[in-house]
Structure 1
Amino acid sequence: MKAISTYFIAPVLVLALLCTSSCKKALEEKPFSFYSPENSYKNASDARAAINGVYGELYTYDLFIQPFWNMTVLDDDHVSGADWFLGSTGAGNPQNYWGVDGPWIGCYTIIARANTVLENVPNITEIDPEVKNRILGEAYFLRGWAYFQLVQLYGGVPIRLKAVSAENPETNIPRATVKETYEAVIADLKAAEANLLPYGHANAGEPGRVNQGVAKAFLAKTYLTMASGASSGNVTVRGGVDNGYYTYAKDVVKGLEGLDPKAYYTLARDKAQEVISSNLYVLTPNWVDLWSIAGRNSKEQMWEIQSLAGSAFINNLGVYFSARSTFGVGAVWTTNNHYKDYDELDKRVLDGITHNYQTLQGTYIFYPLSQAAKYKVVNGINYNNSGSTTAERAYTIKYSGVADPTVANSDAFYPLLRYSEVYLMYAEAENEVNGPTSTAYDALNAVRFRSFPTTGSPAMPVPEAYAPASMTSEQFRSYVLAERARELNLEGVRRFDLMRWGIYLQVMNKISTGQNNISKVRTTKNLLLPIPINELNSNTAIKGNNPGW
């Protein structure tokens, strides 16, 4: 196979052309590897083509064209939507969704391709050593990222660190424990951190590639996930039928029993601090700019799924999440209850929710009914229809900043890591280690201040911007969890937060039936996804599916 362009977008476009001709075709045709071992790895172009093939799986019908975000974003307490779209995954029935096997297949495809890179690129001599190490770092990172997703979604999984070959023919690999899987994640992310280059380095690569700061942040996120999963204590969450505040005694996540939470929180805090102390990243001053075309790949958007208008490299995020859609209106929105968890001055709801829009059919709608004085008449246009079950919908703007919002598939970018989350990880971890110290407050308020107006001279954040003073450790813990929900709403984080804190079942079942009659009832089987039947049939070392499946 000839080497592909060194530009990252090229291999993605090639893969998109292969994968998007039809949903059915994409599901039936599963190439084992984009860059097979039969190819001779001779020079830098071969190495780049190989690592591009690893990234390429992110842009398929296994992962981020739809299945991965469908099975994570749609399954939490703060999301609602059309019953025709949320009736499977969004209602706790992922087995009824056509893409249910996607995360498993996609992650293991990434792993297989990364293994091939790690085994062959070291032998290349016609390459800049710095670029060579970076490519190896990318492969380590993507493999570690894939195992991180797998262990969160499925529990302990088979660990495959070598490509299947004549020398390594064994395909029947038993499941590792949860702890062993996390150990594999950490080992890969540490190797990635050691090999990758810092953001802004001349050889760090094009936008869309991971760098050293991304590896550090995901190490912090891994440690944080393990620490919170192993912790005991209480968490207060706003929700239920009445949108009240309920305190839950958290469950220890199965498989993480006996871990030292404080030790892992210390690791998480220190690694997040390394990212912050690097001074390579900054919060975008104006929150709404994050979601514009100009705001893509900013110093806050640390890692995004890329897209390109006018090509096959597009997705349907915009059509599902935006207020105006080729469906008429979008199919996914933030619940009314979560909307009420924002202060009225908070730009994340003031600017981040679409308050006035026109449907495809021409109807003018405003949101919410409770703020009719502000949104019913705007620029001489009368907006109506609020108060009905079809209109009380808080649509996000996060996926609306596209080149052409009138088409079904557009160039929305999907955030995989933002710098604001690093601050919130630091705040959470520092609180769990030392309590709500001034540094924990500073990290928390750094995220809040950006989203509120200022007042006075010199300009200072308005009083509403400050997190409540003198919170206890438990109150601070709960507040950070709520702040993560406000900051990272509909970015695929909330479900994982509820899971790692061991409160997913309690929070979901407290709602029972949510907005638009979407069922939030969950049972213990919903704590993990089902392992694909094809995997169980082909890998006889796995002795059964996850509980309940």
Structure 2
Amino acid sequence: MKSLKKIFVLCLLLQFVACSDFLEEKAYSILRPDSIEDNESSAKMMIDGALSTIGGDLYFQWGIWHRVTNFDGDYETGPDWGMKELGTGNWQSYGDMYRLWQGPYLLAERATSAISTIDGMSFDRAKQNHYMGQAYFLRAWAYFNLVQGYGGVPIFRQTVVQGAEPQQPRASVQETYDFIVSDLKRAESLMFSKADAEANTLARGAAQALLAKVYLTMASGALTGAEVTVKGGPAVIPVGGPNDPDEVIAEPATVTFTKNVVAGHESMDALAYFDSARVKARELIDSEEYDLFPTYADVWKKENRFQVEHIWSLHSIANDAVFRNVVSHEFAGSYKTTTGDELQGAVYGMRIHWYELFEDNDQRITEGVNHRWYQWGAWRMYPLKDTARRHEVDPPYGWTPDDEALTNTGAMRAILRKFEGVSDRNTENSDFAYPFLRFADVLLVYAEAENEVNGPTTEAYGALDRVRTRSSATAALSMTKQQFRSFVLEERARELALEGGRRWDLLRWGIYLQVMNAVDVDENNVIKRREEKHLLFPLPLGELNANKNLGGPNNGQNPGW
């Protein structure tokens, strides 16, 4: 028998031009049924091989996934030279954009192969089902990434090795979601509970959590005529005269938008899907298999990885040739080994308008934001608005009168401490366990869905306030349905910052263009202006050339690209 580990390493090193190319011409890049033994070890290896895709070069190895999913939002920022094409909407010029198409398809291919192969094995059936359930979950997650980014996409129910036609036409958005929901329902029915699953591995709760999010995405995209209020608007306002122009940071404006129906969601029953999201999230909450950590800081401690709040996170290895990542270096910073205390990296963070969403005592800024660090030869402080407090008798955060506030373009950002929990902060290539599904997210899904179905009920407030009060924020006050809807969206921005969700939240609520264009250009000169074409990612040119069955105008390319 061939070495399974060698086969999986080969998988990780392969890079492909187009989905149909690698599915047709590189079938050797997946485990074939005749290359494995009939035992549980082989089944586990197949799941690990599928999971390894996420840590590899098509997702996290080179920083692709966390950049693509985070840079295109109203509250995210960094220097204009760092945000580059992703942050300015010039996506076809970003060389790694195509990997967000290839990564999910490779993951789905490996998961599909695992499903059919494990189903034919003869070890304990319950364990077989559990491994197949994980594969169904991973395939669903892959297609969820695809449909959010690209709209309806080609669906492969079999691998090419199993006989699937490599040049598949695009399915509709509804068909793609139906496929995702079907896979997640199978996953839920097959997977072990968290108590019965092996520690730190996928369990039934992951399928329930993702299914609730999928239903919520379908529902909010389909809702008509709803209003959503967002705190944003222009980043700066001009001051001075024509001969001495200047500008100052603007306070966030409260603006209400009427949402658009998301393309492809027109025939979906919004209320029915909100109810499905509500029911599924409630099931997971009532199972009591997951809970919030006592404090916000606890969530991000290295020793708490994969524990009670973390439903599913990235497994990574510091300084490994394949499974390292640069998330912590880019979002929280690493230390120069020559000095031991000078921060490097920490290039990307959150805008001032995001910081202004919080109450003063909220742990998500008091503990969750870096307020003082040594960088570029001086001690720095954040936020700019508190520079006068450096001179207090007992200034907060250890500030001194000599600390410098960040005022130069590109430097004004809140550095989030949630990304500090790694094994070694003296390396850029670290082991941050990026959170894909957290229990806090499930609570906010339930609060949002319950409000849409029944209004702002006691149960909706209860779920919302569990998230808020854990971070010492005050319980939410009485609100209308529209106010509650907007408040939950705002709470998601506070709680889940830089966890890959803000762009999708704005898109599914049909307010992405309005919100981004209201900002225009942020305080770091990052262009936020967007057009209709930015509602979807451009399909890779290689895919358009390779797959002649995509159909539609412009050879199947998404509108505007």
**What is the TM-score normalised by the length of structure 2?**
0.88
CA distance in 2, matches of 1:368, 1:91: 24
Query: Helix, strand or coil for the counterpart of 2:405?
Result: coil
Conserved in 2, the CA contact under 8 Å of 1:291 and 1:401? yes
What is the correspondence of 1:469-488 to structure 2 with a 5 Å cutoff? 469=478, 471-488=479-496
What is the correspondence of 1:338-349 to structure 2 with a 5 Å cutoff? 338-349=354-365
Counterpart AA for 2:130: R
Q: Match of 2:103?
A: 106
Cα shift at 1:389 = 2.0
Q: Match of 2:237?
A: none
Conserved in 2, the CA contact under 8 Å of 1:323 and 1:357? no
CA distance in 1, matches of 2:420, 2:412: 19
Match of 2:141 among 123, 141, 145: 145
Conserved in 1, the CA contact under 8 Å of 2:76 and 2:498? yes
Match of 2:387 among 367, 372, 383: 372
CA distance in 2, matches of 1:332, 1:450: 26
Q: Match of 2:228?
A: 235
Counterpart AA for 2:460: A
Counterpart AA for 1:358: Y
Q: Match of 2:209?
A: 217
CA distance in 2, matches of 1:59, 1:90: 23
Are residue 182 (structure 1) and residue 177 (structure 2) matched? yes
Q: Match of 1:76?
A: 73
Higher RCO by CA contacts (8 Å cutoff, separation 6 or greater) = 2
Cα shift at 1:37 = 3.8
Are residue 545 (structure 1) and residue 554 (structure 2) matched? no
Q: 1:35 to 1:517 in 2, by over 3 A?
A: same
CA distance in 2, matches of 1:52, 1:250: 41
Cα deviation, 1:234-275, whole Å, max 9, x if unaligned, reads 100000114101010100000010221111111000000000
Match of 2:405 among 361, 368, 386: 386
Query: Helix, strand or coil for the counterpart of 2:420?
Result: coil
Cα shift at 1:97 = 1.4
Query: Helix, strand or coil for the counterpart of 1:73?
Result: coil
Q: Match of 1:267?
A: 276
Q: Match of 2:466?
A: 446
Of stretches 190-199 and 313-322 in structure 1, the one that deviates more from structure 2 is 313-322
Are residue 335 (structure 1) and residue 351 (structure 2) matched? yes
Counterpart AA for 1:290: V
Give me the CA root mean square deviation: 2.2
Cα deviation, 1:357-399, whole Å, max 9, x if unaligned, reads 111x431001012223555755585552205225532100121
Q: Match of 1:22?
A: none
Counterpart AA for 1:412: F
CA distance in 2, matches of 1:367, 1:301: 29
**What is the TM-score normalised by the length of structure 1?**
0.90
Cα shift at 1:427 = 0.4
Cα deviation, 1:425-450, whole Å, max 9, x if unaligned, reads 00000000010011101111010010
Q: Match of 2:159?
A: 163
Conserved in 1, the CA contact under 8 Å of 2:383 and 2:405? yes
Q: Match of 2:247?
A: none
Q: Match of 1:47?
A: 43
CA distance in 2, matches of 1:34, 1:52: 12
Cα shift at 1:109 = 0.5
Q: Match of 1:296?
A: 305
Q: How many residues align?
A: 520
Cα deviation, 1:14-71, whole Å, max 9, x if unaligned, reads 579x54xxxxx86789765342344144211221111211111111221123222211
Are residue 118 (structure 1) and residue 126 (structure 2) matched? no
Q: Match of 1:395?
A: 415
Counterpart AA for 1:384: D
Counterpart AA for 1:62: L
What is the correspondence of 1:312-331 to structure 2 with a 5 Å cutoff? 312=321, 313-323=323-333, 328-331=344-347
Q: 1:128 to 1:169 in 2, by over 3 A?
A: closer
CA distance in 2, matches of 1:56, 1:328: 28
Cα shift at 1:330 = 1.8
Counterpart AA for 2:198: G
CA distance in 2, matches of 1:15, 1:440: 48
Conserved in 1, the CA contact under 8 Å of 2:334 and 2:428? no
Q: 1:375 to 1:45 in 2, by over 3 A?
A: farther
Conserved in 2, the CA contact under 8 Å of 1:323 and 1:354? no
Match of 1:356 among 365, 369, 372: 372
Counterpart AA for 2:558: N
Conserved in 2, the CA contact under 8 Å of 1:318 and 1:410? yes
Cα shift at 1:294 = 1.3
Query: Helix, strand or coil for the counterpart of 1:465?
Result: coil
Conserved in 2, the CA contact under 8 Å of 1:118 and 1:136? yes
Query: Helix, strand or coil for the counterpart of 1:172?
Result: coil
CA distance in 2, matches of 1:404, 1:212: 32
Q: Match of 1:532?
A: 540
CA distance in 2, matches of 1:26, 1:158: 20
CA distance in 2, matches of 1:379, 1:507: 36
Counterpart AA for 2:372: N
Conserved in 1, the CA contact under 8 Å of 2:544 and 2:550? yes
Q: 1:287 to 1:169 in 2, by over 3 A?
A: closer
CA distance in 1, matches of 2:344, 2:102: 33
CA distance in 2, matches of 1:190, 1:346: 37
CA distance in 2, matches of 1:28, 1:147: 19
Counterpart AA for 1:259: M
CA distance in 2, matches of 1:280, 1:380: 42
Cα deviation, 1:77-97, whole Å, max 9, x if unaligned, reads 010102222111111112121
Cα shift at 1:128 = 2.3
Unaligned runs of 5+ in 1: 20-24, 453-463
Counterpart AA for 2:418: K
Cα shift at 1:472 = 0.7
CA distance in 1, matches of 2:360, 2:541: 48
Cα shift at 1:537 = 1.5
Cα shift at 1:308 = 2.1
Q: Match of 2:60?
A: 64
Query: Helix, strand or coil for the counterpart of 1:302?
Result: strand
Cα shift at 1:140 = 0.5
Query: Helix, strand or coil for the counterpart of 1:517?
Result: coil
Q: 1:247 to 1:138 in 2, by over 3 A?
A: same
Cα deviation, 1:87-136, whole Å, max 9, x if unaligned, reads 111111121212111111011111111111111111111x2222211110
Of stretches 259-268 and 303-312 in structure 1, the one that deviates more from structure 2 is 303-312
CA distance in 2, matches of 1:380, 1:474: 41
CA distance in 2, matches of 1:15, 1:467: 52
What is the correspondence of 1:481-500 to structure 2 with a 5 Å cutoff? 481-500=489-508
Match of 1:415 among 423, 430, 435: 435
